Amino acid sequence: MNEKKMYFLMGLLLLGVSLVGLGGHEAKAATDYGSQFFTHVELQNKNNVASTDFKENDRVKVVYNWELTQAVHSGETMTIPLPAELEYVSFAPFLLKDNSGNTVAAAVVDPINNKITLTFTTFVDTHTDINGSMFFYADFNKDSIVTDQTNSIAFPVGGDYTTLGVMIHKVTSGGGGTGTPTVVFKQGRIDAKDSSLINWTVTLNNALVDIDNAYYTDIMGAGQTLTGPVKLKYRDADKKERFSRNENVALDTNRSFRLELGDLQDTSVVITYQTKMAGGQFSYKNTAKIGGTNIEEQTRNATVNDYSGGGEGEGNNPPPVDPPTTPDPPVTPEPETDPIVVTPATPEVSTMIDGDNEIQIYVVKKGDTLPSIAEKFETTTQQLKIWNNLPSDDIKVGQKLIVKVTPRKVTVTSQNNVSATPTTTMKTLPQTGDTTSGVAELIGALLALTSGAFLTRKK
């Protein structure tokens, strides 16, 4: 029970860290969806094959699939209980990640209440179409099953329960081993405080044979690295410690290290060390060998399986939504036959000749207003509206405005030293206002209305 409490506290710590990472603010009460989003459950055997036929001492892999059918938020949870017929094997917390290593949810096992809770991260705030899977390992609870018959085990799924008929066979003892003392024995166990560490223990010469110039060779399997020193404890025939020592070792190219033990007479040796699992594999294997000048080398293998839970998740990252902007009105391109030449910066106006009048045309730029244009060309807003047949002060970028009409007496050179353009009839001048009347008629009306005022205006 102490180990269960310890893992539960570790899980709460992981959950707390996850929630702090979600936003750095005080955690608020979040929605728990229970089994609402779990879509499928199955049991798998040691070969990871779906099955409903087991022995009472088999270790079972419980696999769940889930899919979010509505929007959820970071900090919200899914909690499901474990059926009474099963017991958790590991209480270590674990993460559900996508293919890029992003954490979708953090899982915490509650051994006291026999539940498992998944807490969503900010992944669900930035993705859509989110789904995944989760697995954990369990043993059969001998007090809640009946052997040699089918047991109906109810698993929470989709807000309800799915019942699996599981045949559980009784195991008959085969008599066991003789307990004969050995020369080499090795075993490993996942550390109770840190589920990424394996504690390896090697017992040499329990048989108490005489070994001259004894040596020990350890071959470390893939997926793990040695951490810290190797500890050796020498014991007498009654297994009482005589002395001990630590050795710092390094693996050679064969992933092995060797220890010189000296002569062993009525002496056994216990060797302990730790390795750290890199993750990504289920089984971790190590090999122990002992030899000497008077005995043949003997070997013993040991394998540790990682029964921690795990899972994965995935989702689509929607395309970013740009903030709404007001685009500039499109500029209508001029016809190729348009005789008006417009240069964005210099000159600001184009000049054309129509009979006895010199007409200056201005192209509206971003930031221009009708009053600012009137001031720039020393005229009035009302005069611009009359010349251009404008019903209001509204103008658009790229719009062409008549800003000045000057009677001419001789050949006129356009403003900014642009050579005078060939005489063109007013019918070829583009319409500058919003009506369909021709500029020639507009200028005629303009001259009639303002003949006294602008005929005396100088260039």
Per-residue pLDDT tens over the stretch 360-389 = 888 989 889 989 988 988 889 888 888 888
Query: Considering the chain, what is the average pLDDT of its residues?
Result: 81
pTM to 2 decimals? 0.54
Q: Is the pLDDT of residue 267 over 80?
A: yes
Decide whether 2-172 matches 349-454 in CATH topology: no
More confident residue, 397 or 356: 397
Instruction: Report pLDDT digits (tens) over 392-403.
Output: 888 888 888 888
Which CATH architecture fits 2-172?
Answer: Sandwich (2.60)
Which pair of tokens denotes residue 380? 């009035």
Higher pLDDT, 352 or 96: 96
Task: Indicate the domain borders of the chain.
Answer: 2-172, 184-305, 349-454
Structure tokens at 95: 């993460």
Q: What is the pLDDT of residues 310-343, one digit of tens each?
A: 889 999 987 666 666 666 666 666 555 444 444 4
Q: What is the pLDDT of residue 17?
A: 45
pLDDT tens digits for 268-279? 999 999 999 887
Long-range contacts of 105-109 (CB under 8 A, 24+ apart): 105/78, 105/132, 105/311, 105/313, 106/14, 106/15, 106/18, 107/134, 107/309, 107/311, 108/8, 108/11, 108/12, 108/14, 108/15, 109/7, 109/8, 109/11, 109/136, 109/309
**pLDDT tens digits for range 188-199:** 988 877 878 999
pLDDT band with cut points at 50, 70 and 90 for residue 437: very low
Which of the four CATH numbers 3.40.630.30, 3.10.350.10, 3.40.630.40, 1.10.760.10 does domain 349-454 have?
3.10.350.10
Sheet holding 211-220, edge to edge: 256-264, 211-220, 283-292, 295-305
Question: Does domain 184-305 bear CATH number 2.40.30.10?
Answer: no
Give 280 or 181, the one with higher predicted confidence: 181
Which of 4-8, 279-283, 289-293: highest mean pLDDT?
289-293
Confidence class for position 63, pLDDT limits 50, 70, 90: very high
